[in-house]
Structure 1
C-alpha cells in the first residue's frame, strides 16, 4: 500500500487552523449557548474544506493532507510562459513573482564530505562547484554498467551540498556520474527570499525545471552514447524527475528512478501547508503571500496544489521505469513522510522503503538522507543488486556519514 490511512493527530499548525476555522462552524450554530459549542473535529474540518474547494474536481485535504489525483489545470493558465500543454505553473493561490529561471553547469570540484552542514558551508563559498567523482564528460559507460547516473538536487540545494557524500562512491563503483544546478530563479523571477542565498537552486517553476532536466539528460546520453540513464533525486529532485518522466519524454530515457524524501504527493510541512491550502480554499490567498518567501516551487510542493494533482493524475508511475522510493520517519520537510511512497501502475515496478525498517539506528532526517551510509548502499544495490544494503548509525540533523 502507498501509505497508512489511519487517522493521524493534527499537528500544532493545523490545530491553530482548526481554532481559526471554528468560526465557520460557529455560524452554523448561531444563537446556541457558547458553552455548548465545541471545536470541530479533524473530519469536520476536512468536510468543511471539501465543501469550500475552489476546484470541485480536486479532492479535499483530509488526514495526511493528501489531495489524491485530479487536476485543476487549464491549458494556457498559470503564472508563466511556455505552458501550452496545459501545465500548471502555479499552485492554487500562487500569485507572487513571475516565471523565469535557468540551469547551469558546475564549475570545478569540491572535496568529499560526510556532513551536510559542512558541505552546505562549502557551497556558500563556492555555490557552483561539482561534487567529487561527477561530470567527467569523457566517461564512457562499461558493459557492466551501461547507464550513467544523473543526480538531481532538491529545493534550496545544489549539486555539491546535496551529493558531496554519495557521488564519489557511485563513481568508484564503476558508474559515470553527472549532475547540474537547475531551477535557478531570483527574487524577481519568483524564486522567493531563499533564492538570495548562494547556491539556493530549485526555486523556479517545477515545469520549467523538468525541461532543464530533459535538456541535461539529452547531453549526457549524447556524450556517453548510452541509451538510458538512472536518476537519483532528493526531495524536489524526485518530484521534478517524475514531471520529466511524465511530460517531457523522460520515460523512454530512464531505467531506474531512485527518490529520497521526495515530495511525490506534496507535503504538509508539519501542517503548515495543509493549513495554508485550507484557508486558500476559502478564498483567502495566504499561499500567495507565503510564496514570496518560499518561491514558486515551494508552493507547488504543498499538498493539494495543481502541480501535485496533475503529477499524480492517472497514476503514480509511467510504464517502463523501475522506481525505488525511500522515506525516513524523521523527515521534517516531506510530511507525513509516507506521502513520498508510490503505487505501481502498468509496466512499472516500485520498491517503497522506510529507511528505519530493519535499521532503527539510522536517524537521518530530510537533509541528512543523502549523507547516510544506508542510503548510499541502497543506491548501489539498486544499480547493482549484488551489492549489500548496510545498516549504520547516522545522526539526525547534522549528518555524519555514519558517525558524529
Structure 2
C-alpha cells in the first residue's frame, strides 16, 4: 500500500511539473523572428524557405555568430552548405558558438567560414527535463528530432539553391541524422558528406550513469538519453539491416579519452557493402595514444588543464574540414 501511495504521489508530481512547464513555455507562435539577431523582425527578414519553421525559429533565440547568415553565398559549387547538429542537452550556441564572446565566431564555424562555407544550425528536441526542472534542447524523442532536422535541411536547400548539404553531427546529432536518413529514403540524395563526432552508434553508458535503457528510464532520464543507452530498442532498430547508405561519404571521428560515449569503441559505424566510411580515432591519426581530447568542449569556467574537446581541438577541427573537402592539404595539427 505504501509503495502504491508513493507511486501515485510521484505520478501526480510529474503531471504537476509538466503542467507548470507547459504554462511557463507556451508553444511558439507563427510570427517570424530573425535567428541571426534574436529580435522580432519584419516579414521581409525571414527568407521564404524558412517560413514553415518560423515558430520554431522564434523559440530558438539568437544564432551563434557566423551561423544562419541569410546573405551568405558559397564561394563555389563545390562548397556545399554545412548544417551543424548539436548533441544531447546542448543548444547550437553551446555547441558551435564562441563561449567567451558570443559576438565572435566559434572555432569550427570560424574554420568553415574561412574555407568559403555557409554554415547553418538548428536547435532541436526541446523538452522538459524532470531531473533539472527545466526545458532543454536535444532531449526529446530522436524520431521527432529527425523530423525537425529534415524540415531544416529542406529549408536550407530551398534558400541556398544547393542540391545537397554536408552535415556535421556531434554525439546525438549524428544519431539524429542517421535516423533522418533511415526513415526517409529520399533524404539520402540530399546529403553529400556526413561527419559524425563521437556518436553513440552502438549505445553508451553515458559515463557509467546508465547500465541499460531500463536503468535510464528508472532514473527518469530524458527519452533521448534512454534511446542512446546500450542495447536500446531505438538503436537496435536504427542499426538493423545496414548502418550506412550508398552515395553518402561517412566519416566518424572518435576519441579514446571520451568520458561520455562509453565504451568509446561504440562510436564506429559498420560499413554496408558499397558505402564510403572512414572510422578514425584522433589518437591514431596523431600517433599519440596519450593525447587527451574530450567528448565535447571546454567551458570558460573549467580549468584549462582539462584540455580541449572534439568541437574545439585543432586536430579534430582539421579532420572535419578535410572530411568535407578531401583535397584539403596539410598535416593534422596534433
Matching of residues 4-403 of structure 1 within 5 Å: 106-108=35-37, 128-164=61-97, 165-186=107-128, 191-194=129-132, 196=134, 200-248=136-184, 249-274=186-211, 276-277=212-213, 280=214, 286-290=215-219, 292=220, 294-359=221-286, 360=288, 362-367=291-296, 368-387=309-328, 388-392=330-334
Q: Which has the larger radius of gyration?
A: 1
> Are residues 319 and 105 of structure 1, via their aligned partners in 2, closer, same or farther at CA, if it must alter by over 3 Å?
farther
Give 1:385 deviation, angstroms.
Answer: 1.9
* 8 A contact 2:204–2:262 mirrored in 1: yes
CA deviations on 1:251-290 (whole Å, 9 max, x unpaired) are 121011101111111102244433x45xx4xxxxx43332
* TM-score, length basis structure 2: 0.72
CA RMSD between the two structures = 2.7
* 8 A contact 1:147–1:226 mirrored in 2: yes
* 8 A contact 2:250–2:276 mirrored in 1: yes
* 8 A contact 2:175–2:201 mirrored in 1: yes
CA deviations on 1:227-270 (whole Å, 9 max, x unpaired) are 11000000100101100111134212101110111111110224
* 8 A contact 1:194–1:295 mirrored in 2: no
Indicate the SS of the match to 1:178: strand
CA deviations on 1:144-190 (whole Å, 9 max, x unpaired) are 5341100000001111111122112101210111001000112xxxx
Structure 1 unmatched ranges of 5 or more: 1-96, 110-125, 281-285, 393-404
CA deviations on 1:203-229 (whole Å, 9 max, x unpaired) are 100000000000000000000000110
Structure 2 CA distance for aligned equivalents of residues 180 and 253 of structure 1: 17
Structure 2 CA distance for aligned equivalents of residues 389 and 127 of structure 1: 37
Indicate the SS of the match to 2:253: strand
Structure 1 CA distance for aligned equivalents of residues 222 and 34 of structure 2: 22
Structure 2 CA distance for aligned equivalents of residues 195 and 211 of structure 1: 25
* TM-score, length basis structure 1: 0.60
Structure 1 CA distance for aligned equivalents of residues 238 and 36 of structure 2: 32
Structure 2 CA distance for aligned equivalents of residues 373 and 233 of structure 1: 17
Structure 2 CA distance for aligned equivalents of residues 343 and 174 of structure 1: 32
What number of residue pairs does the alignment pair up? Answer: 264
Structure 2 CA distance for aligned equivalents of residues 134 and 172 of structure 1: 13
Task: Identify which of structures 1 and 2 has the higher relative contact order when contacts are C-alpha pairs closer than 8 Å and 6+ apart.
Answer: 1
Structure 2 unmatched ranges of 5 or more: 1-17, 39-58, 98-106, 297-308
* 8 A contact 1:150–1:229 mirrored in 2: yes
Structure 2 CA distance for aligned equivalents of residues 167 and 155 of structure 1: 20
Structure 2 CA distance for aligned equivalents of residues 166 and 108 of structure 1: 20
